Chain A
Amino acid sequence: MMTFGPIIETLLAGEFICSQRFPEYHRQLQDETLQNQINDYLRPLNRTVSQAADGSVFFLSYQTLDKSGREHLRQQFIQTLATLMPLLEWLTLTQEALGHDSTLVPGDTIKLPEWVVACEDNPSLKQRLANLARDRFFNSQAETVDAQIKQIAKRLVEHGYFIQPHTDRPYFIVTGKVDYLMDVIRFIRDEENLPVEETPEQEALL
């Protein structure tokens, strides 16, 4: 009897496994023996378990790359780059709007009404929100703050950055995929030698 069938199915479907969305699977995947078993199973499918952000998220990678796999990755990479700016803007905007000490981390709760009120009360935030909502990634044509925020939240759920524990309640939980996003940002910064600091001392020097 395979106990890890559901994990494989979830991974194969292209999902990111983090402790917010799939707590049980995420816990099980900490076990290296299980990971090896799953990798054995996935080998004929040309897939292997990968992780990012120190095991905060697990996902499937191609084991070997053929032409179509590479093309898929290329398309996906282009999409990742296109979503980078709207996602960064989303993170900075929510941090400012909600008056948080720091940018969102997995497990943080976002209550939409709070977010709406904060943006409605502040013309500059309201303008930034409108610009963000119009971005192709969020693709909202809505005029009201409420509708714009709802659309943003909906897209973030679709892309796995948010989960909504109860469909009838307007609050969302940030998933481990933001950790993945952080890794992507750091990777690009390091590869492209971008002068983007993350330590306060160095920032003071700038």
Chain B
Amino acid sequence: MTDEQLNVSDQRLEQGEKRLNLIGRHAGILMQAYQTGELDALSVNEGILRNLLNARIIYQPEHGQGYRLRAPIAQLIANLVVDERRRSIQADVADKLDSIRNQVDVFRKAHQRSDMYLAELKLHIIEERVYDLVSEFDEAIHSLWNRLNTDFGFAASLDEKMAENQRAQNQIERLLDGLSMVDYEECIALADGHVKLRQLLVVQLQRRTSLQRASMLEIQHRMIELMSRFREQQSRSLLVNNMAQFLRQHPELKVSDYTERSEVPELFNLARGIRAGAHADVRIESTQQQTLDVLHEALHKTRHLRTEQTSSSESAKAMAQFSDAVLETEQRQLKQDVDEFFIDAAQSQYPHSALDYLVNNELRWQPEIWLFQVLSEYQTLTKSVQVELPLQRRERAVSKTNEVHIIEDLIVQPPKRVA
């Protein structure tokens, strides 16, 4: 039993080895097939074709048609080529670094021989090579930032954006691999003792590439973040579209009432709103001027005071100049007293006169100021409260020749109660 198994696996090993060899022997024509999509049957003899067919490397979709690579082989090559490309960036960097090393070597020798002409020439070449190397990375970084900043705007769909993002991330990895080949210690050693070389290899090459590396890591970080945002968007869209579709198909869906549970889920525990009554607060220094402006604007709207426009704006100035501390306590007390007046009026069963209230409660306010405040506080009440608490003005015409009226008193009607 075991022997048999061993034999079988030995056979497999042998067969695999043969077939891999077959791929190697015909690498040229297989690569040509990979590139053009079809094997050039004329360039190989029948025996080879048969071997390749038997080895499941190529196949003929239909009689009379050309031979193609089987999918796994094509994929294998694709993978290998990507690797090759990856290596090629590194090889490119390695090549440029090698060239720099050689040029430095020749430069030093020329320098020693005092062959200034050659030394100068080599220095120019080194400069060029360093520039090439650095600018290649610069370009790649620029292009990556650009893609990042436009959110891959050039891609038509979210899927495409995600694929582009993945490609960019692969590119970053290859670039980072390439950058890691620049050996800083070697740069310093190469530049040893020569100002211009130091300028090129340490200042230019080393510093620039270390900045580029930092920049690339930042891009990588942002790419990953962007990718997770794309994923989130994707899942959100699917959720919304699928849920909408499901509900359309199941309009009769009964959802259990989560609010009946002993522990209502936080998501559905939305407390009823409480509206806090608010009044303009003259104590707040920063908004004092605003409060006064609003107050006067409100007063302008009342017909009776329209003619006193000038004096009221003068009084605004006077009030603004008023000592802050005094204003603060006075206004606060006045407002509180007016509030109490309204509460009193709302709780009573009879109409309340503002002036009577002032006298009865022995409040120290001047009648005009008192009426003024009652009126302005009334304006700050909500419409619904105003309806509940109608305010009447007891007015007196100043003269027969104009429309000026003076408010003598304000009467607040208590709310009508249902017996």
Contact = CB atoms under 8 A, between A and B. Distances in A.
A158 to B, nearest CB: 13
A23 interface: no
B241 A65 contact: no
B270 A61 contact: yes
A76 interface: yes
Contacts of A69: 271-272
Contact of A198 (B235, B244, B247, B259): B235
B267 interface: yes
A161 to B, nearest CB: 13
A117 interface: no
A118 B265 CA distance: 39
Interface centre among B233, B240, B272 (most CB of A within 10 A): B240
Given A102-B237, A185-B240, A13 B275 contact: yes
Contact of A102 (B233, B253, B255, B267): B233
Contacts of B236: 102-103, 105, 182, 198
A12 interface: yes
Interface in B123-151: none
Interface stretch (A32-40, A134-142, A168-176, A186-194): A186-194
A65 B260 CA distance: 11
Contact of B259 (A50, A73, A192): A73
Interface in B270-303: 270-276, 278
Contacts of A200: 234-235, 238
Given A91-B240, A198-B239, A187 B257 contact: no
Given A70-B259, A186-B239, A187-B265, A102 B158 contact: yes
A73 B240 contact: no
B260 A12 contact: no
Contact of B258 (A84, A185, A191): A191
A9 B257 CA distance: 30
A28 B243 CA distance: 34
Contacts of A194: 243, 246, 253
A95 interface: yes
Given A195-B246, A197-B242, A76 B233 contact: no
B309 to A, nearest CB: 29
Interface string B43-82: 0000000000000000000000000000000000000000
B268 A77 contact: yes
A187 B258 CA distance: 10
B310 to A, nearest CB: 33
Interface residues of B, number: 39
A14 B270 CA distance: 8
A167 interface: no
B271 A14 contact: yes
Interface string A52-70: 1000000111100100011
Interface in A72-118: 72-74, 76-77, 80-81, 84-85, 88-89, 91-92, 95, 101-103, 105
Contacts of A188: 255
A125 interface: no
B266 A89 contact: no
B256 interface: yes
A196 interface: yes
Nearest to A185: B243
A76 to B, nearest CB: 6
Given A185-B239, A191-B256, A192-B256, A73 B269 contact: yes
B233 A101 contact: yes
A195 B243 CA distance: 9
B157 interface: yes
Contacts of A157: none
Interface residues of A, number: 54
B128 to A, nearest CB: 44
Contacts of A187: 258, 265, 267
B237 A95 contact: yes
A10 to B, nearest CB: 10
A81 B271 contact: no
B116 interface: no
Interface string B154-168: 000110010000000
A80 B268 contact: yes
A183 B77 CA distance: 46
A3 to B, nearest CB: 13
Interface string B96-135: 0000000000000000000000000000000000000000
A145 interface: no
Contacts of B255: 81, 188, 191-192
Contacts of B266: 50, 52, 61
B274 A12 contact: yes
Interface of A: 9, 12-15, 45-47, 50, 52, 59-62, 65, 69-70, 72-74, 76-77, 80-81, 84-85, 88-89, 91-92, 95, 101-103, 105, 180, 182-189, 191-192, 194-200, 203
The 6 closest A-B pairs by CB, nearest first: A14-B273, A102-B233, A61-B269, A198-B239, A88-B244, A73-B259
Given A72-B271, A73-B269, A103-B240, 14 more contacts: A9-B278, A14-B273, A14-B274, A50-B266, A73-B264, A76-B259, A77-B257, A185-B243, A189-B239, A194-B243, A194-B246, A197-B239, A198-B242, A200-B235
16 contacts: A12-B275, A13-B276, A14-B274, A45-B274, A46-B271, A65-B264, A73-B268, A73-B270, A74-B257, A76-B270, A88-B247, A89-B244, A91-B240, A187-B258, A192-B255, A200-B235
Interface of B: 157-158, 161, 233-244, 246-248, 253, 255-260, 264-276, 278
